[in-house]
Chains A and B, each alone.
Chain A
Amino acid sequence: MYKLWEFLERAHTGPFCENDEFTFKIFMPKVKEVVKKYNIKFDPNNPVPSDDDLADRVWKAAVELFLEVGVLNVDTHRRIMVSESELKEALYHYPGRFMVGQGSDVRLWENRHPEETKAPFCIFSPDITYDEELMLPSSIAYVQEPLADGVCGPILEESIGMKIKSGAPSEMSGVLQHAMTLRQACRMVGRPGMFMVAVGTAQSDTGQIAVSNEEWGVRTSDARLIGALTEFRIDNELMNKIAHLKQYGGHIGCLSGSIYGGYAGRAEGAAVLEVAYHLVGLTIYQGTFNNSFPFHLHYTSNSGREMLWLVSIKHQAISRNSRYLSTSNGFLNAGPGTEMVLYEAAAHGLASTVSGGHLWEAAPTHNKFRNYATPVEARMACEVGHAVAMQGMTRVKANEIVNKLLAKYENNIADAPKGKSFQECYNVKTVKPETWYLDMFKKVKDEVAEMGVEFPY
């Protein structure tokens, strides 16, 4: 527990700053400054860049941004500042490898580098809400995926028919139902100790604290996500979650998503910011990892050309300069049951893996519609990720393939097909994908193989 209380206390003792001053006078000018100073430029021809020096410059820019701007606590109006020596110390002491899960389901999760032959750690997650009656079958669907090293289950909107409301008793019901159902799914599938990142239904600090339970809930061998507020902000409720989880002993994942077109600007600024969020995760959040989902302001996705560049360069920057773990969270435009979403998943899994990232797949359909995600999209991303790691694919080759994949879908991003719901793509009773979707999966996988991805099976 590196300087937990020192960092948290700085939310009360750091420099006073109001919201607008922080965003417009401190944060935005500094992002602009470091992007220019370190000559960071998006290259549309190379969505998977192989310029090590560029990756290292993105890292340096992120370090400077983080150290000089700090993180604003919006409740206390104080900036939490971390010094350069503290950051270096935190990077030095960070283990870079963790055992997660329990029993026969335990997994070693360790850092990777660009073009690394070690397989990415794969977390399967729909990142979206499901109907209450679909919670168990959809959880089983994700847990039973063979490449899943961990799982983050479907999210509930209703519990016992009540609309779940953050901070209200309905949330207490929903979070227990979420944790218990996911745990039940793990046991039913025969993976009772599987690493869970849960529970997404809990928005409030009390909701997260309520599910800390070694028997039926979220264990110390599991993880919780704690979000970062846009941009570079935190509040007391988030800090309560940090304090609780460190004392409980669970793993923390800092959930960060810089916005392309947001306060940090376009691909260059958003890439620097996303790397900087990992430094926030390492220090202030005391994280085991960041789950990183940079997204496009208009499309809420990260599978477009400029977004894949951002995803690739930030993973290269992080994995070349630290041992900090980072999962690459795919946000896709098309919906389940479409060829487009499978091409997008392949491109995201490929770009992330060869850049040194781990995988968190996937949120289809702009992460918007209830029941619109299935494990098949995640399976494509993770099978591609495993394949390209095993064959030691270079970033140059990956760039060539990603360009071919982009040619298949990038003109359709604005009008991506919504596709079909989980219950249309799966037999809900047997929890198996429908034959037509498996056939579609095979067709796309064969095409990706033709492009040069050597699938082990």
Chain B
Amino acid sequence: MSNIESLVKAVTEGDETAAVQAAQVVVDEKIPVGAVIDALTGGMREIGEQFARMEIFLPEMMESAHVMKAVLKVLEPAMKEQSAFSEKKGIVVLATVEGDMHEIGKDIVMNLLEVHGFEVHDMGINVNALDIVNEAVKVGANIIGVSALMTTTMPQQRDLIEILKAKGLRDQFHVIFGGAPVTSEWVEESGADSWGENAAVAVKILENVTKEK
């Protein structure tokens, strides 16, 4: 097994100690970081696909994502030196709407987007619609994802659309809704751009959106 393969294996198995060690070996041996990043991205994509196939679940996916972040810290100096930063597919601001404390669905989407090469700014739960818009502007996002798990918090998703319109920013963002009670009818009625029926669907939609642009 090559050093890169050992690194990918450790990351996908969620073994932080082994992964960090393997990353250091890769750095010490001056293996081109671009190739390492490509291999890691492939490994994380496979993790996302395993999750969609229900071969793994949230703990395994979260562990791999956590280890991936630790590995990137080790690789960062070499990445800077070799200008090996891969281009992000898109910049996403994610949040669960105000009054809603559910976060697991949003977290799954966040992890899947990250492993598929998106830059994600997670604002957490119970977030005011205006704050979400302001954050999206601040970080230069092109996508806003808002989750609502209650029928009584879904109206906050529509509020976000109305705020974007009021500020003249509607065309700057692709807005995707998620959450168990959300339907395509609600997305249409509210004026959002798309509906992430589940996390895997959300990723596919956003990959297509960013390809088109």
A residues apposed to B, CB below 8 Å: 19, 24, 28, 32, 74, 129, 155, 157, 163-168, 171, 174, 201, 203-204, 229-231, 233, 235, 259-266, 297-298, 300, 367-369
Contacting pair A259 B104 (CB below 8 A): yes
Contacting pair A166 B58 (CB below 8 A): no
Q: Distance in Å from the Cβ of A272 to the closest Cβ of chain B?
A: 14
Q: Distance in Å from the Cβ of A336 to the closest Cβ of chain B?
A: 18
> Which single member of B98, B99, B152 contacts A201 (CB below 8 Å)?
B152
Q: Distance in Å from the Cβ of A229 to the closest Cβ of chain B?
A: 5
> Which single member of A166, A230, A263, A367 contacts B153 (CB below 8 Å)?
A166
Q: Which residues of B (74-102) have their CB < 8 Å from a CB of A?
A: 98-102
Cα separation A79 to B156 with both chains bound (whole Å): 29
Binary flags per residue of B117-132, CB closer than 8 Å to A gives 1, else 0: 0000000110000000
Contacts of B205 in A (CB 8 A): none
Binary flags per residue of B174-191, CB closer than 8 Å to A gives 1, else 0: 000000110100000000
Q: Distance in Å from the Cβ of A390 to the closest Cβ of chain B?
A: 36
Q: Which residues of B (139-168) have their CB < 8 Å from a CB of A?
A: 150-156
Q: Is B62 an interface residue (CB 8 A)?
A: yes
Contacts of B125 in A (CB 8 A): 74
| Main SS class of interface, B | loop
Contacting pair A157 B151 (CB below 8 A): yes
Given contacts A203-B150, A369-B183, 4 further A-B contacts (CB under 8 A): A204-B99, A261-B54, A297-B57, A300-B180
Contacting pair B101 A265 (CB below 8 A): no
Q: Is B198 an interface residue (CB 8 A)?
A: yes
Contacting pair A263 B104 (CB below 8 A): yes
A to B CB contacts below 8 Å, 9 in the list? A24-B62, A157-B151, A164-B155, A167-B98, A174-B152, A203-B99, A229-B101, A233-B101, A261-B54
Q: Distance in Å from the Cβ of B150 to the closest Cβ of chain A?
A: 5
Cα separation A405 to B125 with both chains bound (whole Å): 40
Q: Is B103 an interface residue (CB 8 A)?
A: yes
Contacting pair A262 B57 (CB below 8 A): yes
Contacts of B98 in A (CB 8 A): 167
Contacting pair B54 A298 (CB below 8 A): yes
Contacts of B181 in A (CB 8 A): 129, 368
Cα separation A447 to B91 with both chains bound (whole Å): 55
Cα separation A262 to B66 with both chains bound (whole Å): 16
Cα separation A28 to B57 with both chains bound (whole Å): 13
Contacting pair A166 B99 (CB below 8 A): yes
Contacts of A229 in B (CB 8 A): 101-102
Closest to B200 in A: A298
Q: Distance in Å from the Cβ of A231 to the closest Cβ of chain B?
A: 8
Contacts of B150 in A (CB 8 A): 166, 203
Cα separation A367 to B100 with both chains bound (whole Å): 18
Contacts of A201 in B (CB 8 A): 152
Cα separation A288 to B40 with both chains bound (whole Å): 50
Contacts of A164 in B (CB 8 A): 151-152, 155
> Which single member of A165, A168, A263, A367 contacts B58 (CB below 8 Å)?
A263
> With A165-B156, A229-B101, A230-B104 known to touch, is A266 a contact of B57 (CB < 8 Å)?
yes
Cα separation A179 to B78 with both chains bound (whole Å): 63
Contacting pair A155 B151 (CB below 8 A): yes
Closest to B102 in A: A230
> Which single member of B101, B152, B183 contacts A74 (CB below 8 Å)?
B101
Contacts of A19 in B (CB 8 A): 124
Contacting pair B58 A262 (CB below 8 A): yes
> With A28-B59, A262-B104 known to touch, is A203 a contact of B152 (CB < 8 Å)?
yes
Cα separation A266 to B60 with both chains bound (whole Å): 11
Binary flags per residue of B28-68, CB closer than 8 Å to A gives 1, else 0: 00000000000000000000000000100111001000100
Cα separation A298 to B108 with both chains bound (whole Å): 11
Q: Distance in Å from the Cβ of A200 to the closest Cβ of chain B?
A: 10
Cα separation A174 to B152 with both chains bound (whole Å): 10
Contacting pair B152 A261 (CB below 8 A): no
Contacting pair B180 A367 (CB below 8 A): yes
Cα separation A171 to B100 with both chains bound (whole Å): 14
Cα separation A90 to B155 with both chains bound (whole Å): 40
Contacting pair B62 A368 (CB below 8 A): no
Contacting pair B99 A167 (CB below 8 A): yes
Contacts of A167 in B (CB 8 A): 98-99
Q: Distance in Å from the Cβ of A420 to the closest Cβ of chain B?
A: 17
